Amino acid sequence: MDGKEMIKIPNSIYLEMVEHAKRESPLECCGILGGKDHTVKKAFELQNTEKSAVRYSISPQEQLKVFEEMGKDAMEMVAVYHSHTHTIPFPSETDVKLAFYPEVSSIIISLKEEDPMVKAFRIGKEAIYLEEIEVIP
Ligand SMILES: [Zn+2]
């Protein structure tokens, strides 16, 4: 990895994620962003099977379906997103434990403040890196 990592998200998808987070609040929402070369092309909303306000989990079946759909459009998983309805946008201990894809961005939408905050991270075994989000038209 050289230079700063960055993920590009179209404005409409960015807003979709924030809307999804608000709709599910106070429960955490989750989803997958598909695209290519760190550029998001499509958001897939998923069920939080935990139905919890402090953690989330994605069913393997639902994830498989999304992988199939992305495959049809030659997309790959660029990011996994979820919301923090009461805490800051930083990976929780559980998030770190459940980060199975260090090459994929983890996006957290925080609804703690009135203005939602969206942050992206790479969660590695040794460290957590902040990743810049560029909202594109
Ligand atoms: Zn979390």
Q: Which two tokens stand for residue 39?
A: 């550029």
**CA 88 to ligand 1 centroid distance, Å:** 9
pLDDT in tens, 1-52: 444 679 999 999 999 999 999 999 999 999 999 999 999 999 999 999 999 9
pLDDT of residue 126: 85
**What is the pLDDT, as a whole number, of residue 100?**
80
Contacts 24+ apart (CB under 8 A), 94-99: 94/54, 94/55, 95/123, 96/123, 96/128, 98/57, 99/123
pLDDT (average), residues 107-134: 95
Neighbouring C-beta atoms of residue 47, cutoff 10 Å: 15
Per-residue burial over 1-30, b = 16 or more CB atoms within 10 Å of its CB, e = otherwise: eeeeeebbbbeebbebbbebbeebbebbbb
CA of 72 to the centre of ligand 1 (A): 29
CA of 97 to the centre of ligand 1 (A): 10
Distance CA(25)–CA(86), nearest Å, equals 9
**Cα of 108 from ligand 1 centre, angstroms:** 7
Q: Kindly report, residue by residue over 47-106, the tens digit of the pLDDT.
A: 999 999 999 999 999 999 999 999 999 999 999 999 999 999 999 999 998 888 888 999
User: 127 to each of 42, 63, 90, 99, 124, how far by Cα in Å?
Assistant: 28, 26, 13, 12, 5
Q: Separation of 92 CA from ligand 1 center, angstroms?
A: 5
Per-residue pLDDT averaged across 117-128, rounded?
92
